[in-house]
Amino acid sequence: MSVPQTAILPGRGGAAGTAADLFWRNPKVLLALLLIPPLLWLGIIYLGSLFALLAQSFFSIDEFSGLVKYELTLKTYRELLNPANLDIIARTVLMAAAVTIAAAIVAFPVAYYAARYARGRWKALFYLGIMLPLWSSYLVKVYAWKLILAKEGILNWVFEKLHLTWLLEAYLSAPVIGGNSLSVSYTGTFLVFLYVWLPFMILPVQAALERVPGNLVEASADLGATPAQTFRNVLLPLAMPGVVAGSIFTFSLTLGDYIIPQIIGSSRLFIGQAVYAHQGTAGNIPLAAAFTVVPVVIMGFYLWGAKRLGAFNAL
């Protein structure tokens, strides 16, 4: 008795065996099985809810009872364009731009030092120092800043001890950026934003600077360039993708934040707060949805510009 030998083996039987055979014969089935859960997540839970929200912006609200009227209309967008709401948008975009530029200026030297000079233990310490603020609670940091910036807070005390109160007062009497105290001025809001989002700028800039070959900088110096020229013509262009990548974080995070300006600032609304106020409290979901479209559009343009600057070439 001998079993006839064939090239095709019989199925291995059992659920696992059948599945293994199926995957081996049709590799696409396995691929589909592996891809479907993340695609569902992205498609339904993420994009789906986003589109459902956007769809809401084409409805309007009955002004007295606060019930949403489910008829397609552009009324909500007209409302979005009234002067008070345009103020909110302009205020938020300007703040995001200011925070981004300042973050780039502060982050560059820090990242440069970390990428070029810090070694061993110092490098570890650097990473720890940058990441540490990210590990503590966001709210705790913001409340701590409220106490630092308050009229009877630490910073005012320091200025008083240094007999520099006049300087602070002169600064605070300036229009727009000033206020009664740092904690109720745009400057205060700006400082806290800068502090909270700084790590998101430092890390990409440092990664970009580490990839700049040292010999290029040396060559530039050999050819007679001053340090300023080297920075302008060699270092900055090569590190630019990192700066742009970092700016995407700082810009979009500032654009969407609604907690910092509520605790520190002059009560003037930012986009995030307007969304929160309209959907959470006023029940005006259409207007809130229209407001959320604004950062999406702004970030769309921003990313398009960033792509042209080559921020994604390194990805």
Partner 1 sequence: MKTLLKCSTAIAIALSLTGQAAAAEMLTAVGPGEGQVNIVAWPGYIERGETDKTFDWVTKFEEKTGCKVQVKTANTSDEMVALMNEGGFDLVTASGDASLRLIAGKRVQPVNVDLVPSWSTVDERLQNAPWHTVDGVHYGVPYMWGPNVLMYNTNVFKEPPASWNVVFEEMDLPDGKSNKGRVQAYDGPIHVADAANYLMFHKPELGIKNPYELNEDQYKAALDLLRAQRQIVSRYWHDAFIQIDDFKNEGVVASGSWPFQVNLMQGDNQPIASTIPQEGATGWADTTMMHAEAANPNCAYMWMEHTLSSNLQSDLSVWFGAVPSVPAACTDGRGMQNAEGCAKNGLSDFDKIKFWTTPVSKCASQGECVPYYRWVSDYIGVIGGR
Q: How many CB atoms lie within 10 A of CB 285?
A: 19
Q: Does 256 bind partner 1 (CB under 8 A)?
A: no
Cα–Cα dist 136/139, whole Å:
9
Does position 101 interact with partner 1 (CB under 8 A)? The reply is no
Identify the residue among 20, 127, 181, 303 touching partner 1 (CB under 8 A).
Answer: 181
What distance in Å separates the CA atoms of residue 243 and residue 110, rounded to the nearest whole number? 13
Whether 235 contacts 116, CB under 8 Å: no
Least separation in angstroms between residue 174's CB and partner 1 is 14
**For 26-85, where are the E strands, in sequence order?**
60-61, 68-69
* Residue 6 makes contact with partner 1 by CB under 8 A: no
Question: Shortest approach of partner 1 to residue 259 CB, angstroms?
Answer: 11
User: 152 is written with which tokens?
Assistant: 């009877």
> Nearest Cα to 305, choosing from 100, 105, 54, 102?
100
Is there binding between residue 15 and partner 1 (CB under 8 A)?
no
Q: Considering the rule CB under 8 A, would residue 65 count as an interface residue with partner 1?
A: yes
141 binds partner 1 (CB under 8 A): no
- Residue 223: helix, strand or coil by DSSP? coil
Among 9, 72, 223, 315, binds partner 1 (CB under 8 A): 72
Task: Tell me how far, at minimum, the Cβ of 74 lies from partner 1, in Å.
Answer: 14
Q: Is residue 175 a contact residue for partner 1 (CB under 8 A)?
A: no
**68 phi, psi to nearest 5 deg:** -75, 130
With beta carbons less than 8 A apart as the criterion, state whether 208 and 241 touch. yes
Q: Answer yes or no whether residue 138 interacts with partner 1 by CB under 8 A.
A: no
Which residues make up the interface to partner 1 (CB under 8 A)? Answer: 51-52, 55, 58, 62-68, 70-72, 79, 82-84, 87-88, 91, 146-147, 150-153, 179-181, 183-184, 263, 265-269, 274, 277, 280-283
